[in-house]
Amino acid sequence: MRTVKDILDSKPQAFNVIGPDAMVIDGLNMLNSVNLSYLIVMDGNEYLGIFSERDYSRNVVLKGRSSRTSTVAEVMTVDLPVVHLHETVEQCMLVMNSYRTRYLLAYDEQEKFKGVITIHDLLRQVLTSKEAVFDTTVAEQLLSHDERGIY
């Protein structure tokens, strides 16, 4: 089974990084330009949190804050669950489900931040290895329904 390290190795190097003092409006513009749902908040080489679309809606819009005067640090998420490089996709799915989150923080054995595992990363892994996930009987039934035009 694939591991957190495998997932991170297959992802492009993170370019969705923002500083904690950036204004939320700048974070929103960056989210739009990188076409992702989150930004990694870093202070130099130190991981601080993530800023996501959900943070914006819950901590800015719903609380009546301004995206032009609020900083990313004021609204970012800081309490995400952690996984390590040797953990499997299945373990990640269990952690993500139990914490009801869309993001996991990946750390190495020296507790150095290595990246973010997203629900989309895990879904891609499941789809890549669908033969091991889906029962062939179910797959055959789906195919036969598809051939008859039943969806």
Q: Per-domain residue ranges for the chain? A: 4-147
- Looking at residue 148, what is its pLDDT? 44
Please write down the HEC assignment for all residues of the chain: CCEHHHHHHHCCCCCCEECCCCEHHHHHHHHHHHCCCEEEEEECCEEEEEEEHHHHHHHHHCCCCCCCCCEHHHHCECCCCEEECCCEHHHHHHHHHHHCCCEEEEECCCCCEEEEEEHHHHHHHHHHCHHHHCCHHHHHHHHHHHHCCCC
Q: Tell me the pLDDT tens digit for each residue of 64-113.
A: 999 999 999 999 999 999 999 999 999 999 999 999 999 999 999 999 99
- Looking at residue 125, what is its pLDDT? 87
- Looking at residue 151, what is its pLDDT? 41
121 versus 150: the higher-pLDDT residue is 121
- Looking at residue 150, what is its pLDDT? 45
As a whole number, mean pLDDT of residues 44-48 equals 94
Calculate what percentage of the chain has a pLDDT beyond 90. 74
Taking 80 as the threshold, does the pLDDT of residue 44 lie above it? yes
What's the pTM value of the predicted model, to 2 decimals? 0.81
Topology given in CATH for the domain delimited by 4-147:
CBS-domain (3.10.580)
- Residue 138's pLDDT band (cuts 50, 70, 90): low
